[in-house]
Amino acid sequence: MNLKSLVTDGNRSLKMYAGRLEKLGIIKLEDFLFHLPFRYEDYSLISKIAEIQPGETVTIKGKIIEIKNQYLRGGRIKTFQNAIMEDETGQIKLTWFNQPFIIKNLPVGTQVSISGTVEGSGKILKIKSPKYEALYNEQTKSLHTGRLIPIYPETKGISSKWLRRQIHNILTQFSNEIKEYMPIEIINRNRFPDFKTAINSVHFPKDLLDAEKGRKRLSFDELFLMQLAAQIRRQKWNKQKKGNLLEAKKFEKKINTLIDSLPFELTNSQNRAVGQIFHDLSSSKPMNRLLQGDVGSGKTVVSAIAMYLTYLNGYQSVLMAPTEILAEQHFATIDKLLKPLGIQVGIVTGSKKTKIKDKELGISKNAFDVLIGTHAVLQKNIKFDNLGLVVIDEQQRFGVAQRGLIREKGKNPHLLTMTATPIPRTVALTLYGDLDLSYLSDMPMGRKIIKTWVVPPQKRENAYEWIKKQIKETKSQAFIICPFIEESETMTTIKAATVEFEKLRKDIYPDLKLGLLHGKLKSKEKQDVLEKFRKEEFDILVATPVVEVGIDIPNATIIMIEASERFGLAQLHQMRGRVGRGDKQSYCLLFTDNFIAQSSKRLKGMETLYSGAELAELDLHLRGPGNMYGTAQHGVPKMKAANFSDTELIQKAKIEADRIQSKITYYPVLNQKIEAISSENISPD
C-alpha cells in the first residue's frame, strides 16, 4: 500500500514525508516494518528522583512544575530550555538546547516520562537533552522512554522518535494483516518465533534477547527467500530454455592450437574453467555461469577461448563491459588473440563506432564475429545474425533490464558473466544461487607478489623520496590515487586529485612528468592521458579510483593510495591489481592519516593477504556486509536484517530451501513473495 494514501500522524498525512522517506528506502507501508533499528538505547531502569546517582542512565516519571526559554546572543546555541520536574521523592533539573517547541509540548502540570544520563553532584542533579514523553493517563504506553528504545537510520526531517511512532501505529492498526507466510514445519524445526512476533520483537523488544530472536527470524527469511528464488529461477531456466548446442570435441585440435599459441601457459584453474564452460556450451540448455577471479587472473583469456569455440560453430559473440576504459582493454586483448585466426573483432562505445569492411557496424550483415563494447552495444542499429554467446563483465554494475536486453539480441544465447570483485564463497552462493560458479583461484606463472606497506603520516616524506628513486633507477612508472576529484568543504583533510596533482607537480616531483586522470574528463581525453602514460610520456599518473578496473600498464610498478582507510579491502585489492602486470617487482603503498584500531587492522591485512576472497572475508568480518564492496554496487541487494557473515544461518536457509523447492506450489503466499523477489533480484533474465 502506497504511503501517499494512508497513515496519518495526527492531522498530517504521511504524503508530505514521502520524499524524505524514499531516501530511507521507505516507499510502501510495509517498508516501515522492514526499516530495522541498528541499535537500542536502554532506558528500562525506572527510578525515583531520590534514588538516582550521577552517571546512571535512568527513566523518571513525574510532573513538570516549571519550564521556560532562555535566549542567548551569538554562537550555535540560540536558546536553551530549562525545566524542573518532581515526583513524590524530590526534584531534578532538565535542560534542552535550541528546542523552543518543548515549552508547548510540556507545559507546567504535564505528567511526563524522562530518560537520560544523570549529571551533577549533591542535591543539584540534572539531565541534559533528555528523551521525553507526555503521559496523558496511567494507561499511556511508553514508546520513547522506560524501555529498550530502537534507534533507526535517519534522514533530514525524519527522526527515530517520529519513525518509532509511525511503526507503532502501523503495528497496532494493521496487526491483523501481518500474517505468517512461512511453512509451520520450518518455524518449528528451527524454533523461530512467528512472523508477527518477530516484527514486534525487533521494533519494541522486551529485552535484548527478545530483539535478537526477532532479528534472527527476519534474517533467516531474507536468506531463505533469496536462496529459494534462485533455485526456482535455475529450475525454470533448465526446463524452459533451449539454447544452441556448440560442439567442442569436433574442434579440439583448433582450440589446442590457440591455447598453444598463447605467450603463457594456462593455470590449473583456467584450464578447469575452460573445461566447465565447454561442457555447458555443448549442452542444448543455455549456459548460465559466473566466472570469478582476481584482477590479472586471466578471465578475459578464458572468455576469448569460449568466443573462439562459438566462432568455430558458426555463431557470434558479444562482450559488454561497464566502462569505455575496460571495453578498450578487452578489445586490445581479444583482438590480439583472435585476429590472427581470421576472426573479425569490433568495438562500439558511446564515443566510438568501429567500421569493419568499410560498412558501419550493425548495418552490414556478418560485419563481425566478436563485438566488444559498453552498454552502447544495446543500440537498436546493432544487429546480430546468429548470436551464440553473451559475456558480461562486472555484471553487478549493470541493471537487470540491461542484462536482459543484450540477451534478447539472440535466441537464448549462452551467458557467461565475469567479476573481479572478490566475493566470499558463502555470499556468492547466496547472491548467485541461480548461476554455476567457476573460480580462477591461482595467478599466472611468474606473476610476482605485490609488496604492500601501510604508510603512517610520519613516513610520508620518506615514501615520496623512495618513489622518486624507484622510478629513476628502474625506469618504471607509478600511480597516485586520490579519493576525490576536487576538494570538499566538509572533508578538507581528504586528498583531492586536482589539488594533489598541482602540489606533486610543483613541490614534490618537479623533475618528473605527471599526468592527471579523473571521471570528469571526456572519453577521448581519458584515452589520450592513458595512451601517453602507456607510452611512458608520464612518470606518474595522479588519478581517482577510475583506474580501479580496465587499465593495463605493464611498466607501472608502484601504486600509492591516499586515504586508504576510506576504501573497502575489495576495492583496494582491485586498485593494487593495476601494478604487477609486468616482470618487475611491484609495490603498493597505503597512505593513511586515520590510524584507528579497526582501520589499522583492515589495512594491515593488505600487507599479508593477496587473495581477493580472503580479503573479502576479512572485510566482511571487520566491517560487516554493508561496506563489503567498498562502494555500493548496482544489482547487489541490500540486506535489511541478514548478515552475510552468519554462515550458519546461510547454511540453514539453503537446507530449508532445498527441502521445500518441489512443494512451493502448496504455499501460495510464499510463492507470491518468491515471484516478487525474482523480478527484483540479480537475475540473468
SS3 348: strand
The reported pTM is 0.62
Q: Are 118 and 53 in contact (CB under 8 A)?
A: yes
- The pLDDT tens digits for 146-161 are 888 899 988 888 889 8
Distance CA 72, CA 308 (A): 77
Q: Provide the H-helix boundaries in 241-345.
A: 252-261, 268-281, 299-312, 324-338
Distance CA 494, CA 561 (A): 12
User: What is the CATH architecture of 451-609?
Assistant: 3-Layer(aba) Sandwich (3.40)
* Amino acid sitting at position 310: T
Domain pair 45-146 / 249-440, same fold = no
- State percent of the chain over pLDDT 90: 38
* Amino acid sitting at position 7: V
Least confident range from 440-444, 500-504, 523-527, 545-549: namely: 545-549
What is the sign, positive or negative, of the torsion defined by CA atoms of 47, 50, 56, 61?
Answer: positive
Which pLDDT belongs to residue 631?
35
Block residue for cell numbers 607537480: 505
Q: Are 194 and 180 in contact (CB under 8 A)?
A: yes
pLDDT of 488 > 80? The answer is: no
Phi, psi of 622 (to 5 degrees): -85, -35
Instruction: Read off the pLDDT of each residue in 272-298 and give the average, rounded to a whole number.
Output: 88
DSSP 331-347: HHHHHHHHGGGT--EEE
Which pLDDT belongs to residue 9?
43
- The pLDDT tens digits for 300-312 are 999 999 999 999 9
Which pLDDT belongs to residue 357?
39
DSSP letter, residue 583: S
Question: Which residue in 201, 49, 32, 215 sits closest to 116, CA to CA?
Answer: 49
- The pLDDT tens digits for 95-107 are 999 888 999 999 9
pLDDT of 509 > 50? The answer is: yes
Q: What dotted CATH number matches 249-440?
A: 3.40.50.300
- The pLDDT tens digits for 341-367 are 999 999 998 766 554 433 444 434 457
Distance CA 257, CA 652 (A): 47
- The pLDDT tens digits for 169-206 are 999 999 998 989 999 999 999 999 999 999 999 999 99
- Residues written for the chain: 685
Going by pLDDT thresholds of 50, 70 and 90, the confidence category of residue 527 is: confident
DSSP letter, residue 507: I
Which pLDDT belongs to residue 15?
67
Residue 625 grid cell: 556486509
Mean pLDDT over the full length of the chain: 82
- State percent of the chain over pLDDT 70: 82
pLDDT of 422 > 70? The answer is: no
Which pLDDT belongs to residue 307?
97
Going by pLDDT thresholds of 50, 70 and 90, the confidence category of residue 492 is: very low
Going by pLDDT thresholds of 50, 70 and 90, the confidence category of residue 3 is: very low
Can you give the C-alpha Rg of the chain in angstroms?
30
The residue that leads in pLDDT, 355 or 444, is 444
Instruction: Read off the pLDDT of each residue in 288-298 and give the average, rounded to a whole number.
Output: 83
Which pLDDT belongs to residue 140?
61
Which pLDDT belongs to residue 147?
85
Distance CA 27, CA 681 (A): 18
Going by pLDDT thresholds of 50, 70 and 90, the confidence category of residue 2 is: very low
Distance CA 418, CA 323 (A): 14
Question: Which residue in 235, 227, 239 sits closest to 682, CA to CA?
Answer: 227
- The pLDDT tens digits for 207-257 are 999 999 999 999 999 999 888 888 887 777 667 667 788 999 999 999 999
Strand 39-42 versus strand 540-543 pairing type: unpaired
Which pLDDT belongs to residue 502?
92
Instruction: Read off the pLDDT of each residue in 405-410 and give the average, rounded to a whole number.
Output: 73
Cα→Cα distances 542→236, 372, 481, Å: 49, 28, 6
Instruction: Spell out the CATH class of 45-146.
Output: mainly beta
pLDDT of 614 > 80? The answer is: no
Domain boundaries, the chain: 1-40+155-176, 45-146, 249-440, 451-609
pLDDT of 12 > 60? The answer is: no
Instruction: Read off the pLDDT of each residue in 44-54 and give the average, rounded to a whole number.
Output: 89
Which pLDDT belongs to residue 629?
35
